[in-house]
A = this chain, B = another copy of it.
Amino acid sequence: MKIKNGAEYIESLRKIRPVIYYKGEKIEDVTRHAATAPHMRSAAMTYALASHDKYKDIATATSHLTGRTISRFTHVHQGIEDLIKKIKFLRVLGQKTGTCFQRCVGLDGINATYSVVYEIDQELGTDYFERFKKWLIRIQDENLMVVGAMTDPKGDRSKGPADQPDPDQYVHVVERREDGIVIRGAKLHMTGAVNSHEILLMPTAAMDERSKDYAIVCAVPVDAPGITMIFGRQASDDRRDRRERIDSGKPVFGAVGGEAVIAFEDVFVPTERVFMDGETEFTGMLVYRFAAHHRANYGACKTGLMDVLTGAVSYLTQIQGTARGSHVKDKITEMIHLCETLYCSSIACSAEGWPTPSGAYMVDTMLANVCKQNVTRYHFEVARLAVDLAGGFLATLPSQYDLESEDVGHLVKKYFSGVAGIPTEYRMKIARLIEAMTGGTALIESMHGAGSPQAQRIMIFREGKIDQKIKLAKALVGIPVKKDSPKKQ
C-alpha cells in the first residue's frame, strides 16, 4: 500500500486538484476547508486503522490478484470470512468516527463490477475483466479512495432515461472516439467524492434496449477535465468557528459522508478505463449486486453509530441523575436491541454469502435487503429514544459563546449543570453530540443511502419465493399441488 496511514492519505489529497464549489465559492484545499476537512478525517480513519495492531486483521486483506497486503476497502471478497471481517471493520469505524467514513461505496462498486464484467466477458467475449483488474491492481497498490458513482438526477421520475425531456438526467455517452468515450450528465449524493482519488461510474438502474448509451461503467480521476463538484449543505453546517467546537457536536469528524453533486460536462474516458459500454442486459445485475453489498454494509456502520449514541445517552443519564430509572434502562435496552437486530442481518447475509462465477463472494441478497429496510426504521427509532432520554435541553441549549461569555457564562455553567462534580461543559458536549447524530441530515442519509425503502421492498417481494411457500401451505391441508403449472403473480 503506497498510502499507509491517515497522514499520507491527507498528503495525497493535497496533490490533486478537483474542482469543488461550496456555498457559491471554490474550495481550494479540501483537507483544510472547514466544510470538507471533518469528512476527510473520517475517511482518514480507514487508513489509520490499517496500521493499528488491534485492527490490522480486519482492516487489511491479502490481494488475490497480487498476494500483497491491501486495504480491505480495495479487496474483492474471496469468502464468507472476508464478508464477515468487513462487517466487523465497518462497525468499528462507525464507533470511532460516529459517522460515515465513505469508502464502502467504492468497495461495493469494485466488487459488483468485478463479478459482473467477468460474466459479460464470458458471455460476450469482451475483455472488460482484464482492463478492470489492471485498474484495480493500481487502486490496491496505491491504496486509493474510490467513490462509487451510481445515482443519477433522474429528472421526472415517472419517465425512464430515454424519455426524459433532458437526456443528461442520466449519465451517457455523447461521443465515441478511437481511444475512448466522452460522457455527460451528473451523479448526485456522492459520498466522499470531494476527498476521493477516483470515480467509478455505474448505471443507476437496469437499462432497456433503447438506453444503450446509458449502460456505461468506467473510471475517471476526480480531477479529470470537465468534472465539477458541488458540495451539499448539512444541518447546522455553519457551526465551524473555533468557538463553536462544542456546538458542532462533532469537533473532529463530520456528520454523514459529506455528499456532493459530480457534474460531467463532456468528460473524456480512455478505453482502458471503460468497463462496460452498451451491454444493457447486464445493467440490472450490476445494480443489484452493488445494491446488495451496499445494503449489507448499512447494518454494520450504523450499528457503530448506534453504539456511540447509546453510550452518549447512557452517560448523559448518569450525569443528570436519571440513570437508575426503570424506564431509562428499558429505553436503553431497546436502543441496544434494535442496534443488535440490525447487526444480525449484516452478519447473516454475510454468513450466507455465495461465490459468483468470478470467485468474488456475494452476500445473500434477500437478507441484505432486509438489513437496509430495517435501517430505515430503526435508526429513526433509536434516535427518537435517544432524544427522549436526553431531555428537552437538546433543543434549547445556549451556545458555546454564551458558555464562555463574561456576561452570562456563569449562568450557563450554573443552570445547565447536572450531578455535582461534573463540569457543565461535559454535559453540553454530549448534548451537542446527540443533537448532531439524531437530527436532520444524519437520519435522512440512513433512510435513502443504498436505496430508498421502497427499493428494498420490491426486492424482498421478488425474492420471497411465494410459489414455494404456497406449496408448503397446500401440503399441510391436503390441497393438490400441480407441479408443472407455476402460478405467477
Asked if B321 contacts A158 (CB within 8 A), the reply is yes
Q: How far is the CA of A108 from the CA of B418 in the complex (A)?
A: 29
Contact between B333 and A478, CB atoms less than 8 A apart: no
- Could you name 15 residue pairs across A and B whose Cβ atoms are closer than 8 Å? A158-B321, A158-B419, A168-B414, A188-B393, A235-B235, A238-B239, A308-B472, A310-B464, A336-B461, A340-B370, A347-B367, A348-B348, A388-B452, A394-B444, A430-B477
A237-267 near B? 1/0 per residue, CB < 8 Å: 1110001001101111100100111010000
Beta-carbon contacts under 8 Å, A21-44 to B: 21-26
| A441 CB–B CB distance under 8 Å | yes
Contact A464 B332, beta carbon cutoff 8 Å: yes
> Is the CB–CB distance between A231 and B398 below 8 Å?
yes
Task: Give bound CA distance, A84 to B84, whole Å.
Answer: 15
- Per the bound structure, the CA–CA distance linking A321 and B158 in Å amounts to 5
Report yes or no: A418 in contact with B98, Cβ–Cβ below 8 A: no
* Contact in complex: B311, A468 (CB < 8 Å): yes
Interface residues of A in 320-362 (CB under 8 A from B): 320-327, 329-330, 332-333, 336-337, 340-341, 343-345, 347-352
A449, CB-defined interface residue at 8 Å: yes
Residue A186, interface by CB 8 Å: yes
Candidates B256, B330, B337, B457; contact of A373 at CB < 8 Å: B337
- Determine whether A485 belongs to the interface, using a CB cutoff of 8 Å to chain B: no
- Contact residues in B for A329 (Cβ distance below 8 Å): 461, 489
Main secondary structure of the interface of A (DSSP, over half): helix
Structural contact, A318 and B489, CB atoms closer than 8 A: yes
Residue of B nearest to A464 (CB): B336
Q: Contact mask A421-464 → B, CB, 8 Å, 1/0?
A: 00000100110110100111101110111001110010011001
Tell me if A124 is interfacial: C-beta within 8 Å of chain B.
no
Q: How many chain A residues have a CB neighbour from B under 8 Å? A: 156
Closest to A350 in B: B351
Residues of B close to A453: CB separation below 8 A: 388
A65 at the interface (CB under 8 A from B): no
Q: Does A134 contact B (CB under 8 A)?
A: no
Q: Which of A5-13, A269-277, A278-286, A400-408 makes up part of the contact surface?
A: A400-408
Q: Which chain B residue shows the least CB distance to A462?
A: B333
- Interface membership of A469, Cβ < 8 A: yes
Q: Is B157 a contact of A333 with CB atoms below 8 Å? A: no
